[in-house]
């Protein structure tokens, strides 16, 4: 009887882990510092732009941290509370989120099936900014 219960427990745990996408390896995390704009090896603030509209933009490029080659099909998500904006990087690794009433402190998550995901906290959205995001295999 105990052996049967043991196998049922193992089967249940396996089915939960296979059906639950939240059980992925942890992401790398970084807090974007506007006081130190040097290359952090994970994210680089390439520049900022001021717009004369209520719209703001976060754009940039996703690259491989070792080869520095563009990573296409990376999912870029910016979240603030219950608001979320998304984009997918194209062949040259570029992405862009340009929205009305898109401002304040946001968290960006960049995921790709072949790379470790990266969470970038404290992205201050005001105007436009261009980021280079470097993912690790």
Task: Please report the DSSP string for 29-80 in residue order.
Answer: EEE--SS--S--SSEEEEEEE--SSSEEEEEEEEEETTT--B-TT-EEEEEE
From residue 16, give the alpha-carbon distance in Å to each of 3, 8, 11, 83, 127: 20, 12, 9, 29, 43
Residue 131 in this model has a pLDDT that exceeds 80: yes
The percent of residues above 90 in pLDDT, for the chain, comes to 46
Q: How confident is the model at residue 105 (pLDDT cuts 50, 70, 90)?
A: very high
131 exposure class (CB count in 10 Å sphere: 0-12, 13-18, 19+):
buried
Residue 19 in this model has a pLDDT that exceeds 80: no
What is the rounded CA–CA span in Å between residue 137 and residue 129?
Answer: 26
Q: What is the pLDDT of residue 117?
A: 95
Q: What is the pLDDT of residue 129?
A: 86
Residue 100 in this model has a pLDDT that exceeds 60: yes
Lowest mean pLDDT among 34-38, 116-120, 130-134: 34-38
Q: What is the pLDDT of residue 34?
A: 60
Q: Which class in CATH covers the domain with range 26-135?
A: mainly beta
Distance in angstroms between the alpha carbons of the first and the last residue of the chain: 44
pTM of whole model > 0.75?
no
What is the rounded CA–CA span in Å between residue 116 and residue 16?
Answer: 22
Q: How confident is the model at residue 103 (pLDDT cuts 50, 70, 90)?
A: confident
Lowest mean pLDDT among 16-25, 56-65, 89-98: 16-25
Q: What is the pLDDT of residue 76?
A: 97
């Amino acid at each position: 009887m105990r052996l049967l219960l043991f196998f049922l427990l193992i089967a249940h745990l396996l089915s939960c882990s296979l059906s639950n996408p939240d059980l992925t390896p942890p992401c790398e995390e970084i807090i974007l510092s506007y006081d130190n704009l040097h290359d952090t090896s994970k994210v680089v603030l390439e520049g900022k732009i001021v717009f004369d509209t209520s719209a703001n933009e976060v754009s940039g490029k996703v690259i491989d941290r070792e080869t520095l080659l563009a990573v296409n099909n990376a999912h870029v998500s910016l979240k603030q509370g219950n608001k979320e904006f998304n984009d997918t990087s194209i062949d040259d690794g570029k992405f862009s989120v340009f929205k009305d009433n898109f401002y304040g402190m946001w968290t960006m998550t960049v995921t790709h099936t072949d790379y470790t995901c990266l969470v970038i906290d404290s992205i201050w959205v005001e105007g436009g900014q261009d980021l280079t995001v470097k993912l690790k295999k």
